Chains A and B, each alone.
Chain A
Amino acid sequence: GENVEQHPSTLSVQEGDSAVIKCTYSDSASNYFPWYKQELGKGPQLIIDIRSNVGEKKDQRIAVTLNKTAKHFSLHITETQPEDSAVYFCAASIRGFQKLVFGTGTRLLVSP
């Protein structure tokens, strides 16, 4: 079945640095790739997504890139702030977007 690998599992950066989280998916039929941020005690919140007909998408300090050939997609956060500290999940969809398969998560810690 569909599998999504995510690295690293933890990432510590200084405020102002950039952070990069990488994911690899297995199902070549996947065509929608969202990224979620989950803060302690809260549900996942969508922060950015990308579809398979696009290679890169940017929203202020956050960007996502997709390499369909290699089945890789990455989240880039620039100028990190302490409030960016959270667990980040990548995901890939199959079955016409009805099913999201999540990566294992990255705990990002941004130190002031």
Chain B
Amino acid sequence: DTEVTQTPKHLVMGMTNKKSLKCEQHMGHRAMYWYKQKAKKPPELMFVYSYEKLSINESVPSRFSPECPNSSLLNLHLHALQPEDSALYLCASSQVPGNLNTEAFFGQGTRLTVV
């Protein structure tokens, strides 16, 4: 199983809503990532978790709150978002951080629209 599963595939939320994006992998990977991708742009790193601990936060606004409950799950909690936060949110995972044989696997993404 080399799959990273993201739910939901599509999400529409109001600016006062609270919602969560979910990501799951069963490859035994110990590094998990959240990326944000705007239309016709490359993915931009938001957060990195290594061994279930937050290791990189790319100065992301606090309205995005990541959580890694265990080694297989990664959540992104959303609150008070702005329309400009509308994007494709991608989850990825890779083996032990720093391993030379690391390959990052991406999920299909959650298409988020903030209205």
Contacts and interface: CB of A to CB of B under 8 A. Distances in A.
Contacts of B104: 34, 46, 100
Contacts, number: 57
Given A34-B104, A46-B105, A95 B56 contact: yes
Contacts of A101: 45
Nearest to B111: A41
Contacts of A112: none
A104 interface: yes
B61 interface: no
Contact of A104 (B42, B98, B109): B42
Interface string A62-105: 00000000000000000000000000010000011111111111
Contact of B42 (A41, A43, A105): A105
A97 B43 CA distance: 16
A10 to B, nearest CB: 11
6 contacts: A41-B108, A43-B92, A43-B108, A89-B42, A99-B48, A103-B42
Given A98-B55, A100-B104, 20 more contacts: A34-B103, A41-B108, A42-B109, A43-B90, A43-B106, A43-B107, A43-B109, A44-B43, A46-B104, A95-B56, A96-B98, A97-B98, A97-B99, A97-B102, A98-B31, A98-B48, A98-B50, A98-B56, A98-B97, A105-B40
Interface of B: 4, 31, 40-45, 48, 50, 55-56, 90, 92, 94, 97-100, 102-109
